[in-house]
Amino acid sequence: MEGPQQIASTKMFGGYNKRYKFQSRALGCETTFTIFFPPAASEKKVPIIYWLSGLTCTDENVFIKSGVQRPAADQGIAIIGMDTSPRGLNVEGESDSWDFGVGAGFYLNATQGKWKNWQMYDYVTKELPELLKANFSELDTSRASIFGHSMGGHGALTLYLKNPGAYKSASAFAPISNPSAVPWGKKAFSNYLGDDKSAWEAYDATCLVKNYQGPKSVEILIDQGEADGFLKEQLQPENFKKAAEAAGVPVNLRIQSGYDHSYYFISTFIEDHVMHHAKALHS
């Protein structure tokens, strides 16, 4: 695997945001990712938290808008953010809508025709961890957690549930919790995965949690804004909580009064999520 090329570096809270590009085998194109290295990374290996962003985002949004670096620096944890889809492949129709195609990979492996390069699941769970392990001696990739927002919250929950033990903990902001039952998910799944609903269920957290057999000692933290305009039609976290409780999977669903779907909401509670993961990663 060819190593990544650094394209940007900025110092923050004693650590560094560093952005990289490389040619991805999984995606069939050049892609970017960003790492926040906390100050502790200059002295020892540090654990990591993967951040999965939402629709239309890139690897940079969380680092510019959330303030995640402050608690990550305090806790000695690296944050890894990646892009949300392949880019530059010029697939017909890839940019026709904001909620599908470019910027909307849904963290799955597409099986349908022209979308075959939308292999975000393999990219996040296999290729990127291998690249990090091979190229960044500062990172302890064996100690990893995962969180995300909206489409990325969906990704964080599904990757956690589909890979028992791979992540020490999981959390989400306003996740698309039951995509098989909502417009965003139906649009993406039908195009990426076809009409077989069983294939959809393999990437639906509410379906996956019903049969989850992995560790149940660490609860899943979910924050949801009560004033989120997407809550009723697209997100449905109560479906996930109900299914998780029936399966004995601990979930802390916090409905935050007055908050919406934006990074104003995320930045308000991002420290809680880093501390949630720090407890699991440092135990």
CB atoms within 10 A of CB 265: 22
Annotated catalytic residue within 24, 66, 145, 261: 261
Q: How many angstroms separate the CA atoms of 60 and 181, rounded?
A: 30
Q: How many angstroms separate the CA atoms of 94 and 89, rounded?
A: 9
154 catalytic residue (yes or no): no
Q: What angle do CA 249, 253, 254 make, to 5 degrees?
A: 160
Q: How many angstroms separate the CA atoms of 149 and 263, rounded?
A: 9
190 catalytic residue (yes or no): no
CB 155 within 8 A of CB 53: no
Annotated catalytic residue within 85, 150, 169, 171: 150
CB 82 within 8 A of CB 128: yes
How large is the greatest C-alpha to C-alpha distance in the chain, in angstroms? Answer: 51
Residue in the block written with tokens 């294939």: 199
Q: How many angstroms separate the CA atoms of 27 and 109, rounded?
A: 10
Annotated catalytic residue within 140, 204, 223, 228: 228
**3-class SS shares of the chain: helix, strand, coil, % to 5:** 40, 25, 35
261 catalytic residue (yes or no): yes
Spell out the residues 6+ positions from residue 114 whose beta carbon is closer than 8 angstroms to its own: 91, 92
Q: How many angstroms separate the CA atoms of 47 and 198, rounded?
A: 35
Q: Do you know the residue count of the chain?
A: 283
Q: In what order do the strands lie in the sheet with 78-82?
A: 5-12, 15-24, 29-37, 78-82, 46-52, 139-149, 170-173, 220-225, 251-256
Catalytic site positions = 150, 228, 261
